[in-house]
Amino acid sequence: MRERAEDATEGPWEETATKRPDGSIYYSVDATWDGLHDGEVAVLPHTPQGSEDTAFIAHARTDVPALVKALEAVLAIHEPYEHTNRRGTHVHCEGCEANSQGEYSTDYPCPTVTAIETALDAR
C-alpha cells in the first residue's frame, strides 16, 4: 500500500463536478501541486453516488498514507521479544502487557499483529 501511494500522482487531489454541454454531469479527481493544475487523475460517470465516490478517491491520496503510518506505528509497538529461560527460548510480544513478574506473557505474533496482518492479507 505504501508503495502504491508513493507511486501515485502527487497531491493534493480535488474533487470536481463538471456540467457537459448536454446538461449531464461527470465527476473527476484532479491533481495539483505547487499551485499548478496537473490534470485529471480519475473520471467517473454520473451515478447516484458520483459525488461521494469522487470524494472517496480524492481523499484516498492523503487517507491511505495516514492509515499506513498508523498501522506501522502499531506494529512498531508490537515487536517480537526473544526471551530465554530454563524452559527454552520463547518469542513474546514486547508491546503487550507484562505479567506481575515483569515477564512478557503474550506469544508473538500477538492478537493485535495477527488482526492487522489478517486484515491486510484479506484484501
| pLDDT tens readout for residues 75-95 | 999 999 898 888 899 898 988
120: pLDDT strictly greater than 90: no
For residues 63 and 57, what is the distance between their CA atoms, to the nearest angstrom? Answer: 10
**Residues 6 or more apart in contact with residue 31 via CB below 8 angstroms:** 9, 10, 11, 12, 13, 38, 39, 40, 41, 61
Which tops the pLDDT comparison, 10 or 21?
21
- The model's confidence at residue 23, banded by pLDDT at 50, 70 and 90, is confident
Give the start-to-end residue ranges of the domains of the chain.
1-66, 78-123
Residue-wise burial string across 19-45, b where 16 or more C-beta atoms lie within 10 A, e elsewhere: eeeeeeebbbbbbeeeeeeeeebbebe
